[in-house]
Structure 1
């Protein structure tokens, strides 16, 4: 059986609630933006679109090792971006600030671990972001860049990564439902030496 999974850093509730409180009064009611559910805002490190269930145990071991090699670090939500770009966006996202170098190393370790377990990792170079909204047709979202450039959220300490299984169409309003499979603690002790 094939499973659709992803590995992510999930910001704490107070972080996503702060961003939601900032964004909500600025949303236009008749906008073509399809806003993501706040409880699904996360930083995807690796997207695993089709994984055989038989290799799950190997993946769990490799993700445990990958997370264990990385130290805990600070991040905050700040700025905005769009895929493919602001003038013809299909996805609007919030960016992150803080120790993005360590976040990038964590993503590299997670992707390498998944690859060694025999899992196909989809996507291009790692670009840390929280998907805020999607669009059916390309749209200029430059206004949102200006709005989100004024936002700087509370910082938080990244202490773990989470493996999620995604069930397309099983969530509210036909969206995906995400289920936690396992969490992996960042455990490199170099910060103590």
Structure 2
């Protein structure tokens, strides 16, 4: 048996809530666009594909050892893959934090590879997929709409191992484990002993 797995950063609930306010009224505006469900919004770090059950525990351990320093990530602007004139994917862009995100992605892929779980290894632009077209088409109008969304900033670094189940109604995601980043410490907290807990 296998599980279809990927690693991703999931924005915090307030960011997802705010985004849903802008997306919800537009979900039925274009019959060619299939909007991702709120619970499926994420930024992919590595796609592992079908992982044999016997390797899943080792992958959990390897990902737990990945250094995941917090960094500021800003979502702002829009893009389309492969291009706006013949787009298949509409996404919210990463305006700041992409270098740190890419570094975390490399660490995740390397850790997984060490335990025999290859990833897609594709160099990709960090993004949050909002919608997919059923067939390639013009997305320029939708880019302008997404560009009107206010930017969202949050502390990233934490990530999740997610299981993907492909269903006729679309993909269903289940978070198997979250790997949290260490909290950001202010200069006044440096040298202060950690609280017992």
TM score, norm. by length of structure 2: 0.86
Contact 1:77–1:94 (8 Å) recurs in 2: yes
* Aligned Cα root-mean-square deviation (Å): 2.2
How far apart are the structure 2 equivalents of 1:166 and 1:87? 29
Task: Describe the superposition over 1:78-136 as per-residue Cα deviations: whole angstroms up to 9, x where unpaired.
Answer: 11111111110111111122222111110110111111121121262132111111111
- Say how many residue pairs are matched: 188
| Runs of 4+ that moved beyond 4 A | 188-193
Stretches of structure 2 that go unaligned for 5 or more consecutive residues are 191-197
Structure 1 SS opposite 2:117: coil
Measured in 2, the distance between the counterparts of 1:189 and 1:25 equals 36
Gaps spanning 5+ residues in structure 1: where? none
Higher helix share: 1
Indicate whether 1:31 and 2:31 are aligned.
yes
Q: State the 1:35 CA deviation.
A: 0.8
Does the residue aligned with 1:176 lie in a helix, a strand or coil? strand
Partner of 1:131: 129
Flag the structure with larger Rg.
2
TM-score in terms of structure 1 length: 0.88
Q: Shift of residue 137 of structure 1?
A: 0.9
**1:19–1:153: 8 Å Cα contact kept in structure 2?**
no
Structure 2 residue 107 is the aligned partner of structure 1 residue 109: yes
Alpha-carbon contact 2:89-2:132 (below 8 Å) kept = yes
Distance 2:131 2:87 in 1: 10
Shift of 1:152: 2.9
Partner of 1:52: 52
1:8 aligns with 2:3: no
In the alignment, the residues of structure 1 paired with residue 83 and residue 19 of structure 2 have an alpha-carbon distance, to the nearest angstrom, of 22
8 A contact 2:68–2:158 mirrored in 1: no
Pick which of 14-23 and 87-96 moved more: 14-23
1:154 shift after superposition:
2.8
Partners of 1:50 and 1:120 within 8 A in 2: no
